[in-house]
Amino acid sequence: MAAKILNLGSVQNYLKNVDTAASQLINIWGKYPDTTSDDFFTQHLDCKITVIRSILNKLHFYGIVNYDKIKNENSGWFTFKWHMDYEKLAKLVLINNLDKLDSLKISCKKYEEYQMFTCTNKCKDFEFEVAAHYNFYCPMCNENLNVLDQAKKQSEIKELIANIENENAILSSFIRERNKK
Ligand SMILES: [Zn+2]
């Protein structure tokens, strides 16, 4: 059930932004019960417990994971029981995706209204005035700046938009399902 949202590209990207190893940790975790101890991670991930704790702390900062601190009455030591908040993760990614959609829609409109220029290396897209300012040479790689295929660029952006909207629908229904319980 939870693994369903972990497969989404936007969820994976979001986790990678939290920490490069966070998605790896959560992908393994997704296959096991929601609540687990530190030992679990050392058994399943080939990295030091200090590294794992640092990733867990970052995820905790975002509210994606939470923990209970349990005191062992005999030894007086504490153990941590970690749990994933999949609903929180879904909400954070959803909000992030809505921001992305806004900027993609603005960018799509820009490609509709203006003729844009780019180099063969596709370093960056420039508006006419900016391209002219550089005498139609890319300021990054020095290749010629040519007119960009607007229709192609727009269809690429529209594809990205459709993909995010599709993932948002999955995230929304996941959040609704969780709230029913
Ligand atoms: Zn270039």
- Residue 26's domain is classified under what CATH number? 1.10.10.10
* CA of residue 116 to ligand 1 center, whole Å: 14
* CA of residue 39 to ligand 1 center, whole Å: 49
pLDDT digits (tens, 9 = 90+) for 155-180: 999 999 999 999 999 999 999 998 88
* CA of residue 14 to ligand 1 center, whole Å: 28
User: Which residue in the block uniquely carries the two structure tokens 């900016």?
Assistant: 130
Which of 47, 63, 84 is a domain's end point?
84
pLDDT digits (tens, 9 = 90+) for 107-121: 999 999 999 999 999
Which of 84, 115, 147 is a domain's end point?
84
pLDDT of residue 2: 63
My answer on whether 121 and 54 are in the same domain is no
My answer on whether 71 and 95 are in the same domain is no
* CA of residue 132 to ligand 1 center, whole Å: 14
Query: Residues 6 or more apart from 18 whose CB is under 8 A from it?
Result: 58, 59, 62, 64
* Residues 153, 156, 162, 168, CA torsion sign: negative
Q: How far is it, in rounded angstroms, from Cα 56 to Cα 79?
A: 14
My answer on whether 56 and 95 are in the same domain is no
DSSP states along 87-114: HHHHHHHHHHHHHHHHHHHHHHHHHHHS
Length of the chain: 181
* CA of residue 24 to ligand 1 center, whole Å: 34
* CA of residue 136 to ligand 1 center, whole Å: 10
My answer on whether 12 and 62 are in the same domain is yes
Domain total in the chain: 2
pTM as predicted: 0.83
* CA of residue 91 to ligand 1 center, whole Å: 37
My answer on whether 97 and 176 are in the same domain is yes
My answer on whether 76 and 150 are in the same domain is no
pLDDT of residue 37: 80
Q: Can you give the residue range of the structural domain that contains 31?
A: 3-84
How do beta strands 78-84 and 35-37 pair?
A: antiparallel
My answer on whether 57 and 72 are in the same domain is yes
Which of 60, 84, 108 is a domain's end point?
84
